[in-house]
Structure 1
């Protein structure tokens, strides 16, 4: 990557990181583009080189943060060399839950703004690149473990919707119980989702 491209990437990352700080401090509505560029130390015109408006920035920021979550979980999964589809999926889920417990502001921001369309973007736009690797790996895990799933995307959507709503209630509000208390029940429910969507491949 040349110096110009590196500089552009740094400015884009700075705008994303600065906007996350402001959105979680002041709220999305109260944060202006001027607030973002002033804190980032960049010209206002620079903002429009990367984003159409504040809403475009928000959607890309959700994509960026979601990608980081799954990218980091995927990296840890490879490092730990976890075997078996169910074990691999639970490792990824628990890794993400642990991160969200440590960063409640991140959980609140993603939960408020994440839609399935934006979530899919997190993989299709590869921000960062290893997020796409996770989605490919998810599909590969099914194949390598000889599991047939007619709708891989729908199964992932169902699991993530459940995990997302559970984290929001149990982590942010400790309702109806803490995440630690609820986790065994969450695992049991996800196992049932696996059973519903999958079956062993025929020899």
Structure 2
């Protein structure tokens, strides 16, 4: 990456970081573009080089943060070469993402409030840099190396996302109905049940776990 491209990326990330802190502190509706650029230390015209309006930077921010969390977990997975099964890999990534969120409650509030399937699909194809593949690319690669085949893999992932997103929010923020660590085994069982339903090979329904 050249110096000019590096400076552009820095300015863009500065705007995203500024928007994140202001959305959390003041709320989306009470945050203006002027607030974002002032906090980022850039000119207002710079904002429009990267984003159309406040809604656009919010959408990019959600995609950026969701991708960042996933990429962190995927990098950790690469260090665990003993985890070779696709379903075990998804469980590992899920657990690590939940741990990251538990250590950053502001991120929980942002993602859980806005991470609908439409936003998540944007995150799936978001490419953080030229050298970093999108979540969708990584997911496809994991599926290709899976021990089983699955029908409607996007729908399968949608159900897993909604399950985890819908149940973990209160567990992380309020420890209700139980805390996250107590919830995890139940999530594991439910996610493996989803895998069982979507297997299309001869071992479908015969979980080895």
Normalising by structure 1, we get a TM-score of 0.93
Q: Name 2:172's counterpart in structure 1.
A: 171
Secondary structure (helix, strand or coil) at the match of 2:149 reads strand
Structure 2 stretches of 5 or more lacking a match?
204-209
**CA contact 2:67–2:126 (8 Å) conserved in 1:** no
Q: Name 1:150's counterpart in structure 2.
A: 151
Q: Name 1:139's counterpart in structure 2.
A: 140
CA distance in 2, matches of 1:192, 1:131: 29
The answer on 1:197 being equivalent to 2:195 is: no
The answer on 1:126 being equivalent to 2:127 is: yes
The answer on 1:27 being equivalent to 2:27 is: yes
- How far apart are 1:6 and its partner, in Å? 1.0
Normalising by structure 2, we get a TM-score of 0.90
Q: Name 1:64's counterpart in structure 2.
A: 64
**CA contact 1:123–1:131 (8 Å) conserved in 2:** no
Segment drifting more, 28-37 vs 92-101: 28-37
Q: Name 1:38's counterpart in structure 2.
A: 38
Q: Which has the higher helix share?
A: 1
Q: Name 1:9's counterpart in structure 2.
A: 9
Q: Count matched residues.
A: 201
Q: Map 1:82-121; keep pairs closer than 5 Å.
A: 82-121=83-122
Q: Name 1:74's counterpart in structure 2.
A: 74
Secondary structure (helix, strand or coil) at the match of 1:69 reads helix
**CA contact 2:73–2:96 (8 Å) conserved in 1:** yes
**CA contact 2:15–2:40 (8 Å) conserved in 1:** yes
Structure 1 stretches of 5 or more lacking a match?
none
